[in-house]
Structure 1
Amino acid sequence: MGSALTTIGLPVALGIIMFGLGLALTPRDFARVGRHPKAVIIALLCQLLVLPALCFGLVLWFQLPPVLAVGMLLLAASPGGTTANLYSHLFRGDVALNISLTALNSVIAVVTLPLITNLAIAYFLPGDEALGLQPAKAIEVFLIVLGPVVLGMLVRWWKPAFADRMDRPVRIASIVILVVVIAGAIVSNLQLLLDNFGRLAGITVLFCILSLTLGFVVPRMLRVDRRQAIASSFEIGIHNATLAIVIAQTVIGSVEMSLPAAVYGVLMFFIALGFGFLIRGRGGDREARRDGVAAERATDAAEVTPPER
């Protein structure tokens, strides 16, 4: 995973993915947060506070080696990716809320990701300051996470028609490049991955299941409607594993620290798919449809109602 293919290819793949996210974003996606404050606040609290604490407990329970433990916390601190939007769409979640949460999480992660990673390093690797995210590296995280997103948003503001045309090609290109790069990384470091797959498969699968469950159950308990709870579930349960791998390898400089994200990145697709079918069900599907119709009617009513004078 330390080859030129990954040290150059992975950041390029991540940059294209984040640029594609920016192409789909407008200021309205951030403004929408104010219209659904309850769902957003609950999702962010789960993402930023509950999830790292849950991951910390799992790491102690599974007794992972220190570097892998930090890798798990780095994964937990990574925001949701665009894949969450796809799953939310497939299982009738509130995709608009997903887009807003992804945008907001990407901004907040610039602060929280270095903070949580440094706390994990201080706990599990005390005295090893060389692995920390010092201010210069934190700026690098900022550029990796937000730079391409801002560039994509500027392109959309400047040339909206071009941004619409490029949306699909950029998505396809990012997937192709990412698959090629990850396949190359696996082949070049197959033995290292196999040596650690057994000890990481259990914790990554459990972490993914608990994250998805947390993101769905907590909002429902707090009376958030089902479509928004589905969106929250996938946003919290599907992390940007590519970002965690890039930060571990290119910013921190540890191939071993990227292994939890690599294993998680392979397994999460199947777990999220199964979870989506589980929460949808026949009754849940009807409820999601009903919530969706109600939301659309409310939106239409708001658009056609003339302003008061």
Structure 2
Amino acid sequence: MNIDDVILNFTPGSLIALNIVLGLIMFGIALDTSPSDFKAVARAPKAMIIALLAQIVLLPAVTFGLTLLLNVQGSIALGMILVACCPPGNISQVLTYRARGNVALSVSMTAVANVIYIFLLPLSLAFWGSLHPTASELVRAVSLDGWQMLLDIFLIIGLPFLAGLGIRALWPRFAARVQPYARWVSLIGLVGFIVAALAGNWAIFMAYIGIVLLAVFLHDAVALGLGYVSARVGGLDVRDRKAITFEVGIRNAGLGLGLVFSFFGGLGGMAIVAGWWGIWDIIAGLTLATLWARRTRRADAAAARSSGPGAPGDPAAASGVAS
């Protein structure tokens, strides 16, 4: 059977559970967001502009070209485009911290980008999807309702985000205590949900994973690489480059999966791409963050040895003070 004709099994109750998990993710992000995060962007907008251009313009455009290069089927192409049009995921902050990047910048970028994507996602998906030679047929077949998608996205990510901001403003101590639990519970819940969804459709997943595996692997690598290259070309320092790499490379595939079932009837290629992306994105991100952290520790250790007692440039050695 053509993957464009495959429909995954998914109950309405499961969709409600997914939306709750996604809302909790946004609630957790908002609990860790303060007005100073938005002010910081206004004071030093260069990094934010680079990150937004990479996400909003470059990533969907490069994804579009990648689907043509790989010559994947329509539903897989549309799934890749959907993921590229999704907002950044909150695990980008965790990965930035692990990689010893600029966490404050990561928090600011995620907060600003998620607000923008409430309005941008439906427009971007409709634009790129309608241009694609095979995916456009699927977009027309479902008669994509942009206003309904906008409303759903607002209810899923916008409303919880506003609620979290309000709680952070009114009860900052309570928000600080709750935020770590909200972040990790929502992340574990999302991973568990994706695993359960794939397990419930295991036969379909195994039948088509060979096609999707390469597409998602390349797509994820391109997204992470695009973030890094954009930041490097923009002249940003290493810590900012790490933050932007994960901001662009880590997408909220869980939201994409929810939209697949809400607006595309659980279309096989789209659902498998979004589901597998949600798992692989975490694996690839953790691997990169760990390697980056090890490299930074080695560099710091080397710098400490070179500036140790008696080394050139050591203040004690220069002043003749005995160690």
Bucket of the pairwise TM-score, normalised by the shorter protein: 0.7 to 0.9
Secondary structure at the residue paired with 1:125? helix
Q: Provide the residue aligned with 2:276 in structure 1.
A: 263
Q: Does 1:43 pair with 2:51?
A: yes
Q: 1:73 offset after TM fit, Å?
A: 0.5
Alpha-carbon contact 1:121-1:128 (below 8 Å) kept: no
Q: Provide the residue aligned with 1:245 in structure 2.
A: 257
Q: 1:248 offset after TM fit, Å?
A: 1.4
Q: Provide the residue aligned with 2:24 in structure 1.
A: 16
Q: Provide the residue aligned with 1:299 in structure 2.
A: none
| Greater CA drift, 22-31 or 273-282 | 273-282
Q: 1:137 offset after TM fit, Å?
A: 2.5
Q: Does 1:53 pair with 2:75?
A: no
Q: Provide the residue aligned with 2:108 in structure 1.
A: 100
Q: Does 1:144 pair with 2:156?
A: yes
Q: Provide the residue aligned with 1:128 in structure 2.
A: 140
Q: 1:5 offset after TM fit, Å?
A: 4.7
Q: 1:131 offset after TM fit, Å?
A: 4.3
TM-score (norm 2): 0.83
Q: Does 1:63 pair with 2:71?
A: yes
- CA separation in 1, counterparts of 2:124 and 2:189? 29
Secondary structure at the residue paired with 1:128? helix
Q: Does 1:88 pair with 2:96?
A: yes
- CA separation in 2, counterparts of 1:167 and 1:113? 26
Alpha-carbon contact 1:74-1:244 (below 8 Å) kept: yes
| Greater CA drift, 137-146 or 272-281 | 272-281
Alpha-carbon contact 2:194-2:279 (below 8 Å) kept: no
- CA separation in 1, counterparts of 2:299 and 2:232? 16
- CA separation in 1, counterparts of 2:275 and 2:27? 22
- CA separation in 2, counterparts of 1:153 and 1:263? 31
Q: Does 1:215 pair with 2:234?
A: no
Secondary structure at the residue paired with 2:266? coil
Alpha-carbon contact 1:131-1:253 (below 8 Å) kept: no
Alpha-carbon contact 1:21-1:149 (below 8 Å) kept: yes
Q: What CA RMSD, in Å, does the superposition of the two structures yield over aligned residues?
A: 2.3
> Which residue of 117, 125, 130 maps to 1:109?
117
Q: Does 1:226 pair with 2:238?
A: yes
Q: Provide the residue aligned with 1:307 in structure 2.
A: none
- CA separation in 2, counterparts of 1:5 and 1:185? 12
Percent identity at matched positions? 31
- CA separation in 2, counterparts of 1:185 and 1:4? 13
- CA separation in 2, counterparts of 1:82 and 1:272? 12
Which segments of 5 or more consecutive residues in structure 2 lack a partner in the other structure?
1-8, 304-323
After superposition, the Cα gap between the structure-2 partners of 1:280 and 1:172, relative to the gap in structure 1 and judged at 3 Å, is: closer
Q: 1:45 offset after TM fit, Å?
A: 0.7
- CA separation in 1, counterparts of 2:143 and 2:204? 20
Alpha-carbon contact 2:123-2:146 (below 8 Å) kept: no
Alpha-carbon contact 1:88-1:231 (below 8 Å) kept: yes
Secondary structure at the residue paired with 1:224? coil
Alpha-carbon contact 2:28-2:164 (below 8 Å) kept: yes
Q: 1:279 offset after TM fit, Å?
A: 4.6
TM-score (norm 1): 0.86
- CA separation in 2, counterparts of 1:97 and 1:120? 29
| Greater CA drift, 166-175 or 204-213 | 166-175
Paired letter, 2:66: L
| Greater CA drift, 93-102 or 128-137 | 128-137
- CA separation in 2, counterparts of 1:219 and 1:180? 33
Q: 1:278 offset after TM fit, Å?
A: 4.7
Moved over 4 A (4+): 277-281
Q: Does 1:162 pair with 2:174?
A: yes
Give the length in aligned residue pairs: 290
